[in-house]
Structure 1
Amino acid sequence: MDAKRLISAFPYDAAIRLRECLKLAAFAGQPRLACPVCGVTLFLASSMHKNFYLRHRSEDGSCPAVTRTGLSEADIRAMKYRGAQESGAHLRIKELLVRSLEADPRFREVVVEKTWHASEGTKGLRRPDVAARIDELRLAFEVQLSTTFLDVVLGRKIFYKEQGAALVWILPGFDPNYRRMTTDDILFGNNSNVLVVDEATAAASVSAGRFMLRVWHRQPRIEGDRVVDDWIERLVGWDELEIDVDRQTICALDFDAAEAACYAELREARERQRVEAEAAHREAIARIEDELRSEAFEWALTAPDKINPVEHEKRWKALNYALVPFCYHLGGPSCDILVPMRMVWVIETARTGVPVGFGHRDVLEVAHHLLHQHPELIIGFGHLLRAYGNFHLLEELDKTGKWKRKIRSYRSLMRTDPLFKLAEDEDRLFGFLSNELCRKPPTEKTAD
């Protein structure tokens, strides 16, 4: 697998979530990525400039694909915290958080730096900066000022989820244009929401008698044909937050759901546009076909005394060429122009109930003529008579019953003999000119 191609396929926020997924899979003993050289589990790491790369879980020098410095995460963590005392800024945010919680009578058992032992059936312990309870929900607040490893972030989430409690990450401030990787791990792991406690929110909590926080979250919206998002900052009360213990998220806005709704709306809009475009295309095609059909009828029904043979044939060739894109044209280098003319006459005779173009007295004589001279049109003629409500004329005009006897004797031949079938190109043209009325309706039985 090409690591660069894999990583570049993910947008930034998706890459952050991928980091978390890879870590969680490794915690569960089911690593998703391994080094092709040494087989060691790989994680998605980030440089100071937020360029992502794959890194070994452990580096012992045996693999030529060195992906980290000589210091382990434990070494770096020890260097950061060895001998260091809690910063004044960290203490101050904890004080503001406690003051905010104690201002809201709904919060009980507010304690600082109390060890949290795992419940029966689970293992481990944690020491959250502040713990509290609201109704039956236990809360663990962690004030995050310095950078920390993703393992630490995920380890705490897993622990509190197992305890049925909610982990609440608190930041002293937030600038969407300047974010460390730890902040992004918390941000994207919390459904693109960040919770801030500062002097102003603490004062608002005391004034309102209600735990208030400053929330920064991404707000998705549709811009053109894509989904973008804006950063929104607002002051909210605790009761305005949506708490999901299973996902370990505390949100003022369910970004994932809002983004999914935007994409769904965008898909619906694109589908509407596609449907409208297809409908417009079909209407345009139907309009052109109607115009060509009308022109063909006008051409075929030209009075004999008005026909100039040369011009008449030239006009048909132009018409036939115009039908090519729709596959309704007659093939071959040349064709008998009486073929399309006769089709129009058959259609008009069936529609009007009187002979059109044929030198016969009535519809019955036309039927006899077609049966003997142009058998390929007789079946379509019958369907057309039915479609236009004129089939009864054959029975009414058949005083002697000759037609009925004749058609009965031809019935089996009409089903099997190629003489009663049009060539493929002629069949398509006949269907086009008659708006498919020359064909047997799906539920119609074969007529006598």
Structure 2
Amino acid sequence: MTLDEFMEGRDYGEVVRDGRLAAELEMLDGTPRYACPYCKDAMAVRSKAIRARSEIRFYFDHLTARHRETCTGRKGHLPKAILARKFCLHKEGALHKAFKQWVRDSLDADPAFTSTKEEERWWDMEHYKWRQPDVQTTRDGRRWAIEIQLSTTFVHVIAERMKFYRENAGHMLWLFKDLDLETFRLSEDDLFFSNNRNAFRVTPRTVERSRREGRFYLEGAWLEPRLKGGTIKDVEVRKDVAFDALVFDTCSRGIPRAYAFDYEGHKALTEKEQTAWREAQVWERRRNAFESFYVAMLRGEIEDYKERDRLWDELRRSFAEVGITLPQYAQEDTELDRLLVAGYSAKHGQRKPIGIGFETLAELGHHIHKVWPKTLWFYRCMLRAYGQLRTVLDQDRTGKLQGKMKQVLASLSDGEPAFQPQRSWDPLLARLFPEVAGVWAADPSQVAKAVLLASERLVSEADMT
């Protein structure tokens, strides 16, 4: 696998998680994922010493020192030598001591924690290997190692600790010196992005809260994906969070993690929202193009037949992409054309229909009732959606149309077929008129019953007064 192939489709945080810490754990488990094409030695994604959170900082390198000089030409000290020079014979810093005391004070304030110790060895099952966590404690019969990340730590050291505690019935919580996410060093990024983009620390303030409430509190910072204008943006959130409210699990790449906010889960949901938003935008453009064409055609604004056929062909291709087959020619399908005349008249006709020679919407209603009975229910749905029922009632001076509509409602309520709508164009109508998609998809018989019951209730209440 090339670096470009590895980077494709991953953001910076996923590269850190999948290419660095996960690769280290897999190597420790004896199942390295990436190998050098020349010497077959295990490899991982490494980083240049630059601040940019960008793919330009990453490169593949060997995980072990065995073939570095002969295969990659790397020079300089090995990680163990650097660590030795950095920490050997150096006394523990005052800040580190202070952090350990804050953790200890927080744990002591919460009666759920017992057997809390600082800087004591944690032996493996065979009492052969050991680690010395900053703080270790017990809660609900489970042992916890709490490590405080104050300085640069090689990714393989982090992975080794995770592997040790995982294999020796232990659980880990990493704490940070500060929570300025923008200035995290790569070693902090290794933990942050592998920790579901969550970071935690203790401070004198959280210690006081832990004492006050008798519950171990931490200050947390995490990223939350938000959809804004079709783009997913990560928003930083800071909150105090109780230890018992954290989720401890293992990610899909086998990395133990602790988090208050499930970034990966919410990112997946947000990506679905983004896909739906983009599809809605595409459909809105497609719907607007269809509506502009059809309304203009009904109003006689497209006089050139060749131009009309060309525009209709474009619409046919566009709708064919989403599985909807339009007639070969505009207005060729009589049933569809009636529905569109009724729908667009209700939406754009104001007090006068379009595409048909009537002066009022009420006249169109009489015509549909008599000649297009299967279209009448859709016409009523559109009139209601666009507030045109009152217009039709005002135009119906004799009250005849109102009487007909009551008969139609009674017929639909009884399940009679005369005014039951045709359903062959439902997929198209639902897309062209989303404002009525819900009621249009419902059973007209049930809707008619509800309307009649509501009318009877109003009449009854009027009689009582």
- TM-score, L = length of structure 1: 0.61
Q: 1:266 to 1:258 in 2, by over 3 A?
A: same
Superposition pairs of residues 36-47 of structure 1, within 5 angstroms: 36-47=37-48
CA drift at 1:148: 0.9
| Aligned residue number for residue 63 of structure 1 | 70
* Amino acid in the other structure paired with 1:12: Y
Distance 1:252 1:62 in 2: 43
Distance 2:237 2:40 in 1: 44
**8 Å CA contact retained: 1:101, 1:211:** yes
Distance 1:90 1:215 in 2: 19
Aligned to 1:323, what secondary structure does the other structure show? helix
Residues 1:28 and 2:29 are matched in the alignment: yes
Distance 2:267 2:310 in 1: 47
Q: 1:39 to 1:185 in 2, by over 3 A?
A: same
What is the aligned counterpart of 1:80 among 86, 103, 110?
86
319-328 vs 145-154, which moves further:
319-328
Q: Which runs of 5+ in 2 are unaligned?
A: 52-56, 315-330, 335-370, 374-465
CA drift at 1:141: 0.5
Q: 1:61 to 1:213 in 2, by over 3 A?
A: closer
| Aligned residue number for residue 277 of structure 2 | 269
CA drift at 1:290: 5.8
Distance 1:159 1:36 in 2: 30
Superposition pairs of residues 23-422 of structure 1, within 5 angstroms: 23-50=24-51, 51-57=57-63, 58=65, 60=67, 63=70, 65-66=72-73, 68-119=74-125, 124-244=129-249, 248-284=256-292, 286-287=294-295, 319=305, 322-326=308-312
206-215 vs 237-246, which moves further:
237-246
**Count of aligned positions:** 309
Q: Which runs of 5+ in 1 are unaligned?
A: 296-314, 329-343, 348-386, 390-448
Q: 1:145 to 1:24 in 2, by over 3 A?
A: same
- TM-score, L = length of structure 2: 0.59
Aligned to 1:182, what secondary structure does the other structure show? helix
CA drift at 1:388: 10
**8 Å CA contact retained: 1:161, 1:245:** no
**8 Å CA contact retained: 1:22, 1:32:** yes
CA drift at 1:233: 1.9
CA drift at 1:113: 2.2
Deviations 1:215-255 (A, max 9, x none): 11112211222111122222222233222267522212111
CA drift at 1:208: 2.4
Distance 1:138 1:16 in 2: 28
**8 Å CA contact retained: 2:69, 2:75:** no
Q: 1:64 to 1:20 in 2, by over 3 A?
A: closer
C-alpha RMSD over aligned residues: 3.3
33-42 vs 186-195, which moves further:
33-42
* Amino acid in the other structure paired with 2:275: R
Q: 1:283 to 1:92 in 2, by over 3 A?
A: same
Greater Rg over alpha carbons, structure:
1
* Amino acid in the other structure paired with 2:260: A
**8 Å CA contact retained: 1:193, 1:218:** yes
* Amino acid in the other structure paired with 2:131: R
CA drift at 1:135: 1.7
Deviations 1:110-134 (A, max 9, x none): 12223223347x9843222111122
CA drift at 1:61: 6.1
Q: 1:91 to 1:319 in 2, by over 3 A?
A: closer
